[in-house]
Amino acid sequence: MSNPIGDYIESHRLMLYREIDGLSGDKTEVIGNITWGVDVYTDHLFAYRYDGGYRVVSAYINRKAGVHALSRMFYQLALKLKYLNEDKGIDVVFGYMDLYCKEYVDRDGFEFSREKLYDMVESAYNVDVRLAEIVELRKYRWVGKFALMPMKLKQSIIMTHNNKTKTEENIRAIEAALEMLKDTDMFITKETLAQESKLSFDVVTRYVSIYRDEINTHNLSVAGTDNFKQYVRDQNISRIVDAIEATQGLQDKLSKTDLADELELSRMTIHRLWKDQRIQNVMQTFNTKER
């Protein structure tokens, strides 16, 4: 079966993953029982857990990203690809991202702007990449082929590992949920951890401070901020900007009330964000564009 993305990665020798430094902390074997396809594994070694973790830069893409998250995700991806492939030019990185859009994003009449995509790649190449903005901390290192196991199987293995006491169960559940969430572009909060781990909000709150640095590192990598209020603000601004851009050429006037109704945001939220420079820039284009 044809695999255009895989062929592109191989032909251009693109790097999508790199460990930044060595493994640290106590090493624990992760042993469990699972059925993967037709194979049954009993008391099998699947991974090692390192208490101190290890840092990686991973440019693997989350295929479940929503439309409003694409801009942020693609810019972060461009930064990571630039860092991982210092010998590659803008066109090679853009070609990979363009191919990804064709395979997974352009659907049902929606097409991500290639001009916007190229601008993101070009912007990434015009800045000095800060490692702190793109690095991830991992604690589980999977053995051989088990690195390719589905997420749910990995989560099951991690959650059942070393399940001796209720405290350990809770910690393992949170770590498993955190490990899975770090493979997405989601902004991690206590609420998302509680939902993914199937623990109560109060239980997650009891342990979350242990992982605060790890969570902040992930949120900085995917959202450019570790502040949830700033993240929500940025998301709302991006939605407003996208809605205005989508309206250009279709109508002569655009009201805040219409935007609030379309985006299901309060009018107060629209009013509070309206003076943001990103919104003002796109409104200037809207107001001056020939119709």
- Burial letters for 31-64: b for 16+ Cβ neighbours within 10 Å, e otherwise? bbebeeeeeebeebebbebbeebbbbbbbebeee
Domain annotation covers residue 270:
yes
- Could you give the CA distance from residue 88 to residue 85 in angstroms, rounded to a whole number? 5
Domain annotation covers residue 193:
no
Q: How many C-beta atoms lie closer than 10 Å to residue 235's C-beta? A: 16
Q: Which two tokens stand for residue 199?
A: 């623990």
Q: Which of 7-16, 70-79, 185-194, 254-263 has the lowest mean pLDDT?
A: 254-263
Domain annotation covers residue 220:
no
pTM of the model: 0.57
Report residue 291's pLDDT band, with 50, 70 and 90 as the boundaries.
very low
- Could you give the CA distance from residue 249 to residue 264 in angstroms, rounded to a whole number? 23
Q: HEC profile for the chain?
A: CCCHHHHHHHHCCCCCEEECCCCECCEEEEEEEEEECCEEEEEEEEEEEEEEEEEEEECCCCCCCCHHHHHHHHHHHHHHHHHHCCCCCHHHHHHHHHHHHHHHHCCCCCCCCHHHHHHHHHHHHCCCCCHHHHCEEEEEEECHHHHHCCHHHHHHHHHHCCCCCHHHHHHHHHHHHHHHHCCCCCCCCHHHHHHHHCCCHHHHHHHHHHHHHHHHHHHHHHHCCCCHHHHHHHHHHHHHHHHHHHHCCCCCCCCHHHHHHHHCCCHHHHHHHCCCHHHHHHHHHHHHCCC
Q: Which of 7-11, 20-24, 28-32 has the lowest mean pLDDT?
A: 20-24
Which comes out higher in pLDDT, residue 61 or 199? 199
Q: Which of 20-24, 89-93, 133-137 has the lowest mean pLDDT?
A: 20-24
Domain annotation covers residue 203:
no
Domain region containing 283? 228-288
pLDDT digits (tens, 9 = 90+) for 135-174: 988 888 899 999 888 888 988 888 877 665 577 788 889 9
Domain count, the chain: 1
Domain annotation covers residue 250:
yes
Domain annotation covers residue 88:
no
Domain annotation covers residue 261:
yes
pLDDT digits (tens, 9 = 90+) for 98-109: 988 888 888 777
Domain annotation covers residue 278:
yes
